[in-house]
Structures are given as C-alpha cells and as structure tokens.
Amino acid sequence: MARTRIPLIAGNWKMNGLKADAIALAKAVAEGVKQGGWKDREVLVCPPATLVMAVADAVKGSGLLVGGEDCHAKASGAHTGDISAEMLKDAGATHVIVGHSERRTDHGEKDATVRAKAEAAWRAGLLPIVCIGETLAEREAGKTLAVLETQLKGSIPAGATAARLVVAYEPVWAIGTGKTPTTPEVAAAHAHIRKVLGGIVPDAAGVRLLYGGSVKGSNAVELLAAGDVDGALVGGAALKADEFLAIAKAV
C-alpha cells in the first residue's frame, strides 16, 4: 500500500542571512508554524551552515524543522571548508538538500557525487532532498523527461525507500527568474519522475516530490495542486516569513 505523502514545504535560504536577521526570520516562521498547529504538513527551513545550530536552537519545540543546504559525502577528514552530514545532524538538522542545481553548476557536482551525498545523509540519520531539473536549453530541445530520468537514475542510491527520500524537481530556468512551468508541465514532469522512481524505489508511490522554482504565495495554490506535487522547495520567497508561511498555508 502506498505510504501517505505528508506535504513538505521547504525553504532554501541559499547564501543569505546574518545571525540577527536569520534568527528573527526563523522565529517568525516558527511562530506561524506553531499557530498553524498543522498535523497534515511539514515545514522546513534550510539556512546556511553557519546558522544551522543557532536556528535549530531558536525554533526548538515549535514544530519547524531545520536542515542543511548541502553536505560532503565523507563523515570527516581533510576536506577544507566542507561540512559533513554528521556535523549538520550534530548542529540540530534533520534534513539536507543535495544536488541543488547551484551546487551542480557552481561546484561541478555530477550525479555520482549527489548520490554519495544522499548516502552520507542516511549514514548520519538525515533525510536527503535530492534535486533534479533541466536547463532551458534541454527543455527547448525536448529533452526534459530524458534529463530527469538520467539524473534520477544517477543521483538516487540503492536502498532508497519512500521514508528515506524526498525528490525536488527544480527546472533550472525557473529558479530565481519569476518564470514557472505551467501546471500541466509540472504535472507531466512529476508523473514521469514517479514512473522512473518505480524502477528504483520499492514504494515509489509514497515518495514525496517537491516542485521548486519561483514559488511564491500568489502561485503556490496552483503549483501545489498539480498532480503528484507533494510540496515545494522555496528560495527567494523563503526569506520573508509572511510569504513563506503563505506558501505553507496553501497546501
């Protein structure tokens, strides 16, 4: 039987936030989550690594979840400047984003690296959110579904189950641009992702699939209503408590 998919609204703060403002933002989101008293959805914020511990401490007991934006594949060692999944866990994180297109572009991360990072998340007891998505050139060339399939097959480790995996579909051309695919385009991508997951994950029907790319309060209802969309991965709009909570409410 398919596992019930609890919607997840996740905020990716990216390289934004200094302590005072970040704590204020996290507390405002936590307050909204507390007031919402939601049992039917999960809300997560992923601050930059420097703030994970402070944010986790500030929102403790509120129901707001805290995650990392990336992790190294190894648990420790000579990797200057990197952060391990174990360190994120130690700082209070429960989730970690891996394979974001900005990591793939800025740091040349390939599917195999992303897969190793997802395994690292499991090793540390974190839930990985594995990101995939096509570029504009790939979409215009009609390669969207093929690209998603390749990324899924390369980025998801063996042993994945619905309880241990979240997948985020983020078309690269929709990130930070104000452009989004149409609802049928999102539904088609998500349906294909779920179909491909069927060959990788035993209980694929239970895997949560998030949409990301220019999600805001005003388009959240429409995007979240698309078939097979189980939540959102939010960038810019996650930096304003009201806007982010409006998306959480739209579930």
Contact between 209 and ligand 13P per CB under 6 A: no
Contact between 12 and ligand 13P per CB under 6 A: yes
Out of 85, 234, 241, 247, the residue judged to bind ligand 13P by CB under 6 A: 234
Asked if 170 is an active-site residue, the reply is yes
SS3 81: coil
Identity at 153, one-letter amino acid code: K
Q: What is the largest CA-CA distance in the chain?
A: 48
Q: Do β-strands 42-46 and 127-132 pair in parallel, antiparallel, or remain unpaired?
A: unpaired
SS3 196: helix
Contact between 233 and ligand 13P per CB under 6 A: yes
DSSP type of residue 228: T
The alpha carbon dihedral of 103, 105, 158, 233 has a sign of positive
Contact between 215 and ligand 13P per CB under 6 A: yes
CB 91 within 8 A of CB 52: yes
Contact between 213 and ligand 13P per CB under 6 A: yes
Contact between 51 and ligand 13P per CB under 6 A: no
Q: Which is nearer to ligand 13P, 138 or 203 (CB)?
A: 138
Q: Which is nearer to ligand 13P, 52 or 175 (CB)?
A: 175
| Residue 151 parent element (H or E) | helix 144-155
From the centroid of its chain, how far is CA 102? Answer: 13
Contact between 7 and ligand 13P per CB under 6 A: no
Contact between 231 and ligand 13P per CB under 6 A: no
CB 92 within 8 A of CB 124: no
Contact between 100 and ligand 13P per CB under 6 A: yes
Q: x-or-dash pattern for ligand 13P, window 159-198, by CB under 6 A?
A: -----------x----xx----------------------
Return residues touching ligand 13P (CB under 6 A).
Answer: 12, 100, 170, 175-176, 212-215, 233-237
Catalytic residues: 100, 170
